[in-house]
Amino acid sequence: MDGLKFFNDLGGALDIEINEPLATPPKSLGLMSFAPPTAKIKSIGWSPHTYGKNGLEKLTPEQLEIVVFHRPTITVAGEARSPVEHCAPNGQFFNVRDMVQVVVETERQTRGETEWFGGMDLHHVCFEGISTSLWGDKEQKEIWYISWGS
């Protein structure tokens, strides 16, 4: 099984808790509530799922062990596009369980840098996979970008 394909096929949304009540936009915008400019992240989580015969299904212990990356480190950027380097807990590779933590930790560190109607982006939270590209002018580095939808 291709671990990266399996990981990219996972679903679910970030659960972001902030330290202030959500702001209510003017009705003319037709948007849901959003974060006020001074809000900070209290907690962030992601409980991914698969799409099975019975609809949404929790990941099994076996699925959490599928190897996604056969490398000791990975650099990932989330919605803020600020790269964060992560080391594999076992020093060799990242499995699905590890990559879920990589996604959450990347967003925990950088989501506050995003902007959506004056506050941090709490709207684009639906996982749409990760993909890679090279980044940097002189010394090119491979960065994996998390795609988030609404």
Q: Is the pLDDT of residue 128 over 80?
A: yes
Query: Does residue 45 sit in helix, strand or coil?
Result: strand
pLDDT at 1: 58
pLDDT at 6: 96
pLDDT at 29: 59
Query: Does residue 130 sit in helix, strand or coil?
Result: strand
Given a contact cutoff of 8 angstroms between Cβ atoms, the answer to whether 39 and 117 are in contact is no
Residue of 128 and 22 predicted with greater confidence: 128
Convert the pLDDT of each residue in 46-99 to its tens digit.
999 999 888 899 999 999 999 999 999 999 999 999 999 999 999 999 999 999
Query: Does residue 89 sit in helix, strand or coil?
Result: coil
**Exposed / middle / buried, residue 79 (Cβ in 10 Å: 0-12, 13-18, 19+):** buried
Query: What's the angle, vertex CA 102, arms to CA 120 and CA 72, rounded to 5?
Result: 145
